[in-house]
Structure 1
Amino acid sequence: MSCINIKSVIRLFILLLSAIVVNSCVEPYDFETETFEDLLVVEALITDEVKFQQVKLTRTYGLEKKAPTAETNATVTVIEDNNREFQFYESDTPGIYLSNTAFAAGAQHTYQLQIQTGDGKTYTSDAATLVPGAKIDDLYAERSFYQGEDGVALMVDSEYSSSASNFALYEYEETYKIVSPYTVRNTIEFQGSDWSIVPNTRQETVCYNTVPSNDIILSNTSSLSDNNLNSFVVRFINKQNPVLAQRYSILVKQYSLTPEAFSYYSTLKKISGSGSVLSPTQPGFVNGNIRAVDNEDEKVLGFFTLSSTSSKRVYFNYHDFFAFDEPRPQFPESCLIFRPGENFDTPIGMIKGGTVRYFSLAGAPVAGELGEGPMRVIATECVDCTVYGSNEAPEFWIE
Structure 2
Amino acid sequence: MSLSTFCYRLAWVCGLALLLLPACTERYIPDVISSPNSYLVVDGFINSQGISSIKLSRTTAIAATKVPPVETKATLFIEEEAGTRYPLTENPLGTYTSANLTLNPAKRYHLRINTFAGKAYTSDFAPVKTTPAIDAVTWETNPDGLNILVDSHDPTNATRYYRWECDEAWEFNTPYRPIVEYVNGAIRPIAVPYPDYCWAFGTSTAITIGKTTALTQDVVSKFPVRYLPSSSARLQRKYSVLVQQYALTSEEYAYWDLQRRNTESLGTLFDPLPSQVKGNLHNVGDASELVLGFVGVHSRAEKRIFINHAQLPRTWVTITGYESCEPPDTALVGQLDGLLAGGRLYVPIYPFYTKTGYIFGYAISTPVCVDCRKRGSALKPSFWP
TM-score, length of structure 2 as denominator length? 0.86
Residues 46, 305 of structure 1: 8 Å contact kept: yes
Question: Percent of counterpart pairs with the same letter?
Answer: 25
1:46-86 deviation digits (Å, cap 9, x = unpaired): 123223x2111110012222421111111111111242111
Distance in 1 (CA, whole Å) between partners of 2:268 and 2:94 is 27
Q: Which residue of 2 aligns with 1:348?
A: 340
Aligned-residue offset at 1:340: 5.5
Distance 1:257 1:18, change over 3 A: farther
- Paired letter, 1:12: R
Q: Which residue of 2 aligns with 1:383?
A: 370
RMSD in angstroms over aligned alpha carbons?
3.0
Which of 360, 363, 376 is equivalent to 2:350? 360
Q: Which residue of 1 aligns with 2:223?
A: 232
Which of 376, 379, 382 is equivalent to 1:392? 379
Q: Which residue of 2 aligns with 1:330?
A: 320
Distance 1:19 1:289, change over 3 A: farther
Residue 306 of structure 2 is aligned to residue 315 of structure 1: yes
TM-score, length of structure 1 as denominator length? 0.83
Q: Which residue of 2 aligns with 1:275?
A: 266
Distance in 1 (CA, whole Å) between partners of 2:217 and 2:157 is 13
Q: Which residue of 2 aligns with 1:49?
A: 49
Residue 9 of structure 2 is aligned to residue 12 of structure 1: yes
Distance 1:319 1:361, change over 3 A: closer
Distance 1:282 1:84, change over 3 A: same
1:78-110 deviation digits (Å, cap 9, x = unpaired): 11124211111211x2211112x3213331111
- Where 2:101 maps in the other structure, the secondary structure is coil
Distance in 2 (CA, whole Å) between partners of 1:64 and 1:227 is 45
Q: Which stretch has the larger CA shift, 196-205 or 79-88?
A: 196-205
Distance in 1 (CA, whole Å) between partners of 2:331 and 2:8 is 43
Aligned-residue offset at 1:32: 11
Distance in 1 (CA, whole Å) between partners of 2:361 and 2:268 is 53
Q: Which residue of 2 aligns with 1:212?
A: 203
- Paired letter, 1:108: A
Q: Which stretch has the larger CA shift, 246-255 or 266-275?
A: 266-275
Q: Which stretch has the larger CA shift, 377-386 or 287-296?
A: 377-386
Residues 173, 250 of structure 1: 8 Å contact kept: yes
Distance 1:219 1:54, change over 3 A: same
Which of 182, 195, 198 is equivalent to 1:188? 182
Segments of 5+ residues of structure 1 without an aligned counterpart are: 21-26, 366-372
Q: Which residue of 1 aligns with 2:74?
A: 74
- Where 2:294 maps in the other structure, the secondary structure is strand
Q: Which stretch has the larger CA shift, 386-395 or 220-229?
A: 220-229
1:16-44 deviation digits (Å, cap 9, x = unpaired): 68999xxxxxx942799853331111113
- Paired letter, 2:65: K
Aligned-residue offset at 1:279: 8.0
Residues 180, 204 of structure 1: 8 Å contact kept: no
Aligned-residue offset at 1:275: 3.1
Residues 19, 36 of structure 1: 8 Å contact kept: no
Q: How many residues align?
A: 369
Residues 124, 292 of structure 1: 8 Å contact kept: yes
Distance 1:30 1:84, change over 3 A: closer
Residues 43, 293 of structure 2: 8 Å contact kept: yes
